[in-house]
Amino acid sequence: MVIKLDLELDAMAITGESHSQFHVLAVDDSVIDRKLIERLLKTSSYQVTAVDSGSKALKFLGLHEEDDHSNPDTVPSVSPNDHQEVEVNLIITDYCMPGMTGYDLLKKVKESSSLRNIPVVIMSSENVPSRITRCLEEGAEEFFLKPVRLADLNRLKPHMMKSKIKNEKQGDQEKLEKSEIQSEQQKQPPSQPQPQPESQPQPQQSPLLQQPNNNKRKTMEEGLSPDRTRRRYNGITTMV
Amino acid sequence: MLGWGVDRLRADMSRLLAILFHQGVLDEQFLQLQQLQDESSPNFVSECKTDGYCDCRLDREFSDYKKMGIHLNQFMGSSSSIGANRVRNVCVAFRAASEQNNRAGCLRALELLEHEYCYLKNKLHELFQMEQQRVLAAGARYPLQQH
């Protein structure tokens, strides 16, 4: 896979496993955590690209921060149809990063017309309910507490499948539109979500509060599943 | 004879690990790390240890508590990621002291942190050496096991 991007990426690993269907972009400023998430993802048979900052992540995705969407004269640096040389099926990012936080990155992705369909997962070493709510409301699919375990990654696949199906539908629709551009046939109903900040892919445009799936709230509720009892600061009082 | 060496090494490693778990120096996250290690990435755990675990240069003057807090957070996160339980706990206390601008508390925490970190580093080094020896010994053993 040849990627023609002019970047200086310290820790970028692209696997060439052609049998892996899904490509995950991992973002974390910590060397260890980046290594860990990369290993976890590869063990789960995903292709992985790991970068150490939000701005590098955006560059990799083809979105440049200097873009001013409100200025019509600016040549957009990403055009949805032909820039996707690298298809990213999921972004998993640390929350606490210098410069652009994971939350900032999430916002930028969801504000971008070309990237908003990509599911985003946030990781954090701190269990802060308000932080979690904020991220989920901004469109994050999941919020993982660190250290992330292999079992956590099982929750990623449904999100990636949904977005892949959607991309394929969108791709088909675009091909169809191109081929029918001269005809007077009616357009197919749009298969992509409405242009709202809402990232829920389901036809129901219900706000986040109404999710049937409560799994993503796992860190908010007290009752974590038994095999994930998290003794964060487990009462060993080190007196100083 | 070689087989006996491999088994002995394995037993020694298990014993050391058990001690470290019992002491709370390591927690289950370390086991997770070990499980992620395989033929394709045999040095994963040691890489985690060396590649930036202690990037944190703590300012002994404690002139900038906020900056210290940031470093501590990072260090705490890394510790947690590799299963360095006791180190992480000291970081928690250290962070609390720094948030209160408690200089004496910070000094004590720093001493404790250095002690815990040193101990952990030495033990991990021991473990990895044993592992390497085990791999070598196991490699030498294969020609004898032609089934």
Q: What is the ipTM of this complex?
A: 0.79
Answer yes or no: is A108 within a domain: yes
Question: Rounded to an integer, what distance in angstroms lies between the CA atom of residue A43 and that of residue A48?
Answer: 10
pLDDT tens, residue by residue, B100-119: 989 899 999 999 998 998 89
- Check residue B88 and give its pLDDT: 93
Q: Which residues make Cβ contacts (< 8 Å) with residue B65, sequence separation at least 6?
A: B98, B99, B101
Answer yes or no: is A231 within a domain: no
- Check residue A189 and give its pLDDT: 54
Question: Rounded to an integer, what distance in angstroms lies between the CA atom of residue A120 and that of residue A106?
Answer: 7
Which residues from A are below 8 Å from B29, CB to CB? 147
- Check residue B50 and give its pLDDT: 54
- Check residue A105 and give its pLDDT: 97
Mutation target for A interface from B23, B74, B81, B108: give the one with most A CBs within 10 A: B81
Indicate the range of A123-132, A169-178, B17-26, B117-126 predicted with least confidence.
Answer: A169-178
Answer yes or no: is A161 within a domain: yes
Query: How near does any CA of chain B get to the CA of A36, in Å?
Result: 8
- The C-alpha torsion from A176 through A181 and A186 to A187, rounded to 10°, is 50
What is the domain range of residue A125?
Answer: 13-67+74-174
pLDDT tens, residue by residue, A101-151: 999 999 999 999 999 999 999 999 999 999 999 999 999 999 999 999 999
Answer yes or no: is A102 within a domain: yes
Answer yes or no: is A6 within a domain: no
**Contact indicator for A120, A139 with CB cutoff of 8 Å:** yes
Query: How near does any CA of chain A get to the CA of B109, in Å?
Result: 6
Are the beta carbons of A31 and B55 separated by less than 8 Å? yes
pLDDT tens, residue by residue, A2-22: 444 444 333 334 443 433 589
User: Which band of pLDDT confidence, cut at 50, 70 and 90, is reported for residue A167?
Assistant: confident
User: Which band of pLDDT confidence, cut at 50, 70 and 90, is reported for residue A40?
Assistant: very high
Domains in chain B, ordered, with CATH?
2-33+52-139 (1.20.120.160)
Nearest to A31 among B51, B97, B109 (CB): B51
Answer yes or no: is A232 within a domain: no
Query: How near does any CA of chain B get to the CA of A27, in Å?
Result: 15
- Check residue B45 and give its pLDDT: 67
Answer yes or no: is A113 within a domain: yes
**pLDDT at A175 exceeding the cut of 90:** no
Q: What amino acid is encoded at B98 in this protein?
A: S
Nearest to A240 among B47, B48, B112 (CB): B112
- Check residue A169 and give its pLDDT: 80
* Tally of domains in chain A: 1
Query: How near does any CA of chain A get to the CA of B56, in Å?
Result: 12
Answer yes or no: is A25 within a domain: yes
Are the beta carbons of B81 and A36 separated by less than 8 Å? yes
Residue of A nearest to B96 (CA): A240
Residue of B nearest to A35 (CA): B48
**With pLDDT > 70 as the criterion, what percentage of chain B qualifies?**
76
- Check residue A20 and give its pLDDT: 53
| CATH code, domain with A82 | 3.40.50.2300
Treating both helix axes as pointing N-terminal to C-terminal, what angle do B65-82 and B85-99 enclose, rounded to 10 degrees?
A: 160
Are the beta carbons of A149 and B32 separated by less than 8 Å? yes
Q: Is A178 on the interface with B (CB under 8 A)?
A: no
**Contact indicator for B58, B76 with CB cutoff of 8 Å:** no
Question: Rounded to an integer, what distance in angstroms lies between the CA atom of residue B94 and that of residue A211?
Answer: 40
For residues A20-26, average pLDDT: 87
